[in-house]
Structure 1
Amino acid sequence: MKHLGIEVPVKNVPELDPGFLPLGKFRASFLKDAKKPLDLAVERAGGEVAVYKTFIHGTPDMAEADRYYVDRIIKSMLWYMGGFKVYISGDKDIYESMKATYCVGGKRAFDADFMSNVYEKPFEVVYCDQVPAEYSNPQAVGRHLAGCRIGFDAGGSDRKVSAVIDGQPVFSEEVVWFPKTTADPDYHYDGIVAALKSAAEHMPRVDAVGVSSAGIYIENRTMVASLFLKVPKEDFDAKVKDIYIRAIKDTFGDVPYVVANDGDVSALAGAMSLEENNILGIAMGTSEAVGFVDANGNITGWLNELAFAPVDVSPDAMEDEWSGDIGCGVKYFSQDGVIKLAPAAGIELDPALSPAEKLKVVQKAMEEDTPGAAALYRSIGVYLGHSLALYHHFYGFKHVLLLGRVMSGKGGDIILETCKNVLADEYPEIADKINPTLPDEKARRVGQSVAAASLPEIK
C-alpha cells in the first residue's frame, strides 16, 4: 500500500477493512530515507517532559509527508503522555506548520483546547535550539489491602461498587446508569453517593475509598471525562471537578481517598493478579480505556488516552465524532469498532438500539456462529496486533491485559489469537517481548474492585 508517496508493506490486513494502514508500519517506511534530525518534546504538569528524537526528509518533494508524519507523532505524544507545551527543534518550516495546526482555528484545535483544559494552562508550540531534557516522576499507587475499603468503578453504561475487607470482596453491586446522556450533575452525584452507601452497609466501618473512573484525573479532580459529556461547562467547573471528593467527604467525612483513571486501575488490577509489573491494560468497552504500570510497579503520570491517539493512516479511516480526527483508537478498540465493522460482516443492527445493545447483537451472532461474525473479530485482532507493536514502541511493556465487553466470549478469544498471529508474522523482533492475555478467573472475580479499593493508603 502507498501513502503520501511512501510504499508501506503490510502482509496482514483486516478482511473487513482492507484499507487499514497501520501507523507503525507507515512510521517505519517513512524513516527509511529520512535523514534530517528532528527533536520533539511535550511538557505536562509538574515540569515533567517527554522527548522523542526522530528524522524527517526536509526536501520540497517530501514536505507533505514530513508534515503528516510529525503531526501524527505530536498527536500521539499528547494523548499518550499529555502536555500543554510542544517543543520542536531541527526544522523551522515544520515548527511553523505545527504551530498553525495546533491552535485555535487549526486542524488540531480540538487537541490544543483539550490539553489546555486538562492542564489549566494555555497551549503552546515553541521552537528551540535544543528541546528540554526528559523528566518524569512515577508514583507508587495502590496495593494497600488492609482494613475496610470501598472500591467504586464508574463506567459509561454501569457503575460498580464493592466492599472489600482485608483484600477480600464481601459485597459487589452493579447498577445500570446513563451518565453520558445526562446534563444534571446532581444525577451523577446522587448515583455515586448511593453506591458508596450501598457498599458501606456491608462493613463495620469505612477506612478508605478508591475510585476508578473513565476520564482524566489530576490530584483527584475531574479534568475531562466523557461520563460528564452533557454537563454544561459552568456546572462542570462548579460541581463535577470535585464530584468524587465531595461525595466521599459528604458520606464518610475525613477518610483517605484516591481517584484514578479506570485504565490505570485496570493495569494495576492486572499487575496484582499476575504478580508482575510492566503491564499495559486495555479495556475495550464504551471507549478504549488504557492504563500502564511501569517496570517498578508505578503509575507514570502519562494520560494514556489512546482512544484519541492515531493507529490508522488510511485517508478513508472513520472519523471520531468528538475530536474530528480520523484513524484514532476509539473506532478500532471499543464497541464503536464492532459497530463500524458489522455492516461489512453482514450483521444488521437496528439504528434505534444503543451502542451497548448493538454490541450484544454482534456477540449473540458470534455465539451462534453466524457467518461474518468471526471475520469481524478477526479484523479487530489484526487491528490489535499492529497497534500493540506501535504501543510497544512508546511504552516498552512486557504484558498486555485485554479487558472490557468487546473482549468477552468467543469473540475475545478470536481477537487474542489473531493478534498473536499478526505479531509473530509481522513483528518477530518484538513478538516474544509482548505477552497479550485475557484476565484469569482471579482477575475477573476481584480485579477492578479490589484494585480500586487498594488505591488509598491508610495512615
Structure 2
Amino acid sequence: MLTVNPKVRPPLDPEFLPAALWHRAYRALVAKDAGARPFALVLVRPDGSVFRHDARILSAGHPAAALTLTYAERLLKFLLWMKGAPQVLVAGADEIATALAKIYHPAGARAFDFDFMGQKIFGRVFSVEASTFEALPASVETSLPMGRHLEGCRIGFDLGGSDRKAAALIDGKVVFSEEIAWDPYFQKDPAYHIEGVHDSLQRAAAHLPRVDAIGGSAAGVYVNNEVRAASLFRGVPADLFEQHIRRMFFTLQERWGGVPFEVVNDGEVTALAGSMAMNDNAVLGVSMGTSQAGGYVTPAGNITSWLNELAFAPVDYRPDGPRDEWSGDRGVGAQYFSQQGVARLAVRAGFNFPPGIPLPEQLIAVQTAMKAGDPRARGIYESIGVCFGYGIAHYAEFYEIRNLLVLGRVTSGEGGEIILARAEGVLRDEFPELEESIRLRTPDEHSKRHGQATAAASLPAIPVSSR
C-alpha cells in the first residue's frame, strides 16, 4: 500500500529505496487518513537536554497501520544517532512504544543501539517508555560557541581510520603539517593509540617556539574530552579501554603541561572548518572516508552537543539492504557514503580484488580505473551520487541546511565531481525546493590540506592570563 517510485536510480544499486521518498509516501497516506494521530518521540539526556520530534501517524485501524512501526523505528534510529540519549519517551501510540521497547532491547534487533546509547555513551540503561503528551518534558537544547580561536602557538590533530594528521599553527598560519598512516581499528594495546597521538604532537611541536593549546578531532563520540565510543578503539579490550583509553586525552594533556586541550568528533570539526572557510553558517559537513562522518554548525554559528553519527543513520529502507558489519543494521549511511560503500559497489561493478585487500587500496584501485576511463568506476561514483542526493533530502528533514560541505577521500578527483553532479541532479528532479536552498560545497585546496587541522587547533580558548 506504499508506492515509492524514484525518478533516478543508482545504476549499480537499483533496489535502493530512498528514506526521503518513503517518508513522503507515508505522509501522503497519513494526509488522507481521517483518523490520523499526533505522535512524538522525545529523547532525554542525563544532563537535562531534551530533544522532541513531532509527527503524525496512521490510525491504529488503518489498513496500512503496520507501516507505522517501520516509520517510527527508522525515525527513532535516525534521531538517536543524530542527537543521542539513553531515554526515549513515546506519545500518541502506546502500541508503538511497546514494540520499540522490544526492538531496542538486549535481545532485540537493535541490541547494538541499546548498548551504545545506554551504558557506552551515557552510562545508564537505555529505555523506551510510553507517555502522555501532557507528561512530556519541555524541549531543552543548547549549542556551544566553540572554536575560531587562532591566536598563539597551537597544534591541531585529526585521527582517522587510516591516518592521523597534525599541524602546527602560529596565529592561525600553518607552519607545519603532516599525515602519518596508521591502522588503529584492531590494535589491542592502548599504547599504540596514546603513543601514536603523542608522537604526532611532538613532531608538530618541534616547529613551534612553545605550545599554548592543543585541539583535536577524531572519529567517534567524545563528551567533555572523554572517549565514550569510537570504532578507532574497537580492538582494545573493555578493561583496558576503561583504564587507559576513556581518559587518554587527559593523559596527553598532563604530558603537555596542562595546556588547554579540546577534542571533539571529527564531523563537528569538518563542519566548523567549512563554516570558517565559507564565512557562513547552517553547515552540515559530510565526510566520505573510511566510514561516514557528519557534523553540524547551527545557523547561529555554534557547535551542538549532538552526536551527528550519520554512519549509523538509515537512508535506505529496503528490508534486505546491505548490512553494516559493526552495528548489524541495514541501509545505514556507512554502507553508501564511505570507502565501505565503494568496496560494496566495486563487487557489483565487476572489480575482483584479492581477499583481504584493505579498503583504502580498493579505493585507490577504483580511482586509478576512473582516471583510465573505466566505465565500471564511473558506475560506482554515479551510484554513490544518486544515493547521496536522496540522502541529502532525508538529512534536510532533520537539519536546517544552507551549506552542505562534502569531503573525504571518496570524493577526490573526477569521481567526486560525478558524485556531486549526480546528487545535484536528484535534488533538481525530485526536490527542486532543496536544489534552490542548499549549496553543495567542496573544500578548496588550502582547506583540504589545512582546514581540518586549523579548525581543530582553534577549539580551545587560551586564558587571557596565559597569553
Give, in whole Å, the separation in 1 of the partners of 2:132 and 2:319: 34
CA RMSD, 1 decimal: 1.0
Counterpart of 1:253 in structure 2 is 257
Whole-angstrom distance in 2 between the partners of 1:84 and 1:63: 27
Aligned positions of 1:4-153 closer than 5 A: 5-34=1-30, 35-57=36-58, 58-59=60-61, 61-116=63-118, 117-130=120-133, 131-153=136-158
Aligned to 2:33: none
Instruction: Report the equivalent of 1:168.
Output: 173
Q: Distance in 2 between matches of 1:383 and 1:417?
A: 12
Distance 1:115 1:66 in 2: 23
Q: Which residue of 2 aligns with 1:158?
A: 163
Aligned pair 1:325/2:329, yes or no? yes
Residue type of the alignment partner of 2:26? F
Q: CA deviation at 1:45?
A: 4.3
Match of 1:182 in 2: 187
Q: Deviations over 1:107-137 (max 9, x none)?
A: 1111111101101121111111123222101
Unaligned runs of 5+ in 1: none
Structure 2 counterpart of 1:164, one-letter code: L
1:400 is the counterpart of 2:401: no
Equivalents in 2 of 1:45, 1:345: separation in Å?
A: 47
Q: Which runs of 5+ in 2 are unaligned?
A: 31-35
Distance 1:348 1:137 in 2: 49
CA deviations over 1:399-435 (Å, ceiling 9, x no partner) = 0111110000110000011111110110012211111
Is 1:315 aligned to 2:294, yes or no? no
Distance 1:97 1:349 in 2: 42
TM-score by length of 1: 0.97
> Do structure 1's residue 443 and structure 2's residue 447 form an aligned pair?
yes
Question: Match for 2:408: what amino acid?
Answer: G
Answer whether contact 1:152 1:212 (CA < 8 A) is retained: yes
- Deviations along 1:354-395, one digit per CA (max 9) or x if unpaired, are 111111111111111112211110110001100001101100
Residues in 2 aligned to 1:123 and 1:217: alpha-carbon distance in whole angstroms: 18
Q: What's the secondary structure of 1:432's corresponding residue?
A: helix
* Pair 1:299-2:306 in alignment: no
Shift, 1:60, TM fit: 5.9
For residues 97 and 216 of structure 1, what CA distance do their matches in structure 2 show? 28
Cα distance between partner residues in 2 of 1:314 and 1:320: 14
Cα distance in 1 for residues equivalent to 2:174 and 2:313: 35
The answer as to 2:253 corresponding to 1:286 is: no
The answer as to whether partners of 1:312 and 1:328 remain within 8 angstroms in 2 is: yes
User: What is the distance in 1 between the residues matched to 2:320 and 2:146?
Assistant: 41
* Correspondence list, 1:444-459, <5 A: 444-459=448-463
Paired amino acid for 1:56 = I
Letter in 2 for 1:194: D
- Corresponding residue for residue 350 of structure 2: 346
CA distance in 1, matches of 2:347, 2:359: 14
In 1: Cα distance, 2:172 partner to 2:266 partner: 19
Q: Which amino acid aligns with 1:158?
A: D
Are positions 1:429 and 2:429 aligned together?
Answer: no
Amino acid at match of 1:121: R
SS in 1 for 2:105: coil
SS of the aligned residue for 1:62 comes to coil
1:72-107 residue CA offsets vs partner (Å, 9 max, x unmatched): 001111001111111101111111111111111011
Whether contact under 8 Å (1:193, 1:248) holds in the other structure is no
SS in 1 for 2:74: helix
Check if 1:270 corresponds to 2:274: yes
CA contact 1:22–1:387 (8 Å) conserved in 2: yes
Q: Deviations over 1:128-175 (max 9, x none)?
A: 112322210100110000000000111110111111100011011111
Cα distance in 1 between the residues matched to 2:169 and 2:61? 61
Measured in 1, the distance between the counterparts of 2:12 and 2:384 equals 9
Determine the C-alpha separation between the residues in 1 that align with 2:164 and 2:24.
41
Check whether the contact 1:50–1:134 (CA below 8 A) recurs between aligned residues.
yes
CA distance in 1, matches of 2:455, 2:409: 19
CA contact (8 A) 1:273 1:442 kept: no
Listed one character per residue, the Cα deviations across residues 212-269 of structure 1 (whole Å, up to 9, x for unaligned) are 111100001000011101000111111001112211321x112001011000000010
Letter in 2 for 1:141: M
CA distance in structure 1 between the aligned counterparts of 2:183 and 2:249, rounded to whole angstroms: 17
Aligned-residue offset at 1:62: 2.4
Please give the alpha-carbon distance, in whole angstroms, between the structure 2 residues aligned to 1:219 and 1:127: 31
Q: Is the 8 A contact 2:177 2:450 kept in 1?
A: no
User: Contact 2:98 / 2:129 at 8 angstroms: preserved in 1?
Assistant: no
Question: C-alpha offsets along residues 46-85 of structure 1, whole Å, 9 cap, x if unaligned?
Answer: 2111111112212263232111110000111100111111
**Matching residue of 2:212:** 207
TM (normalized to structure 2)?
0.96
SS of 1:313 mapped into structure 2: coil
Name the SS of the counterpart of 1:359 in structure 2: helix
Q: What amino acid maps onto 1:395 in structure 2?
A: Y
Letter aligned with residue 110 of structure 2: R
Using the aligned pairs only, state the percent identity: 44
More deviation, 39-48/327-336: 39-48
Between the two proteins, the alignment pairs up a number of residues equal to 454
Alpha-carbon distance in 2 for matches of 1:249, 1:269: 27
